[in-house]
Amino acid sequence: DAKTTQPPSMDCAEGRAANLPCNHSTISGNEYVYWYRQIHSQGPQYIIHGLKNNETNEMASLIITEDRKSSTLILPHATLRDTAVYYCIVRVNQRNSGYALNFGKGTSLLVTP
């Protein structure tokens, strides 16, 4: 799986958009980009994933550059409850071997009042 690089920490004011970047310059054509977050003392929570196209769901938007070497997770209106560690992970699908995720260090997002 391709390695990812994320800033170790970011701040965001409540109500503003939080834009979390991720570099994955060695990504292969069959690798998906996944975003998870982990709020203190809880298990990681799936946010969104994509392959080539931009994606949006009720939680966030995922913008993937055309060359797929980087992506941005957008939380459109951050709240205090969005304070968490955000993990960007790239993963290839491997049939009959599960789809294990290898977590990097992530970005610690602090949403302030």
Query: What secondary structure, in 3-state letters, does the chain show?
Result: CCCCECCCEEEEECCCCEEEEEECCCCCCCEEEEEEEECCCCCCEEEEEECCCCEECCCCEEEECCCCCEEEEEECCCCHHHCEEEEEEEEECCCCCCCCCCCCCCEEEEEEC
Residue 66 touching another protein (CB under 8 A): no
Residue 32 touching another protein (CB under 8 A): yes
- The count of other CB atoms within 10 Å of the CB of residue 65 is 12
Residue 101 touching another protein (CB under 8 A): yes
| Residue 88: φ, ψ to 5° | -105, 125
- How many residues touch another protein under the rule CB under 8 A: the total is 25
Residue 46 touching another protein (CB under 8 A): yes
Nearest distance from residue 98's CB to another protein, in Å? 4
Q: Report the residue from 8, 66, 81, 96 that binds another protein according to the rule CB under 8 A.
A: 96
* Nearer of residues 7 and 44 to another protein, judged by Cβ: 44
Segment lying near another protein (by CB under 8 A), choices 7-15, 21-29, 67-75, 96-104:
96-104
Residues of this chain that bind another protein (CB under 8 A): 32, 34, 41-46, 49, 51, 85, 87, 93, 95-106
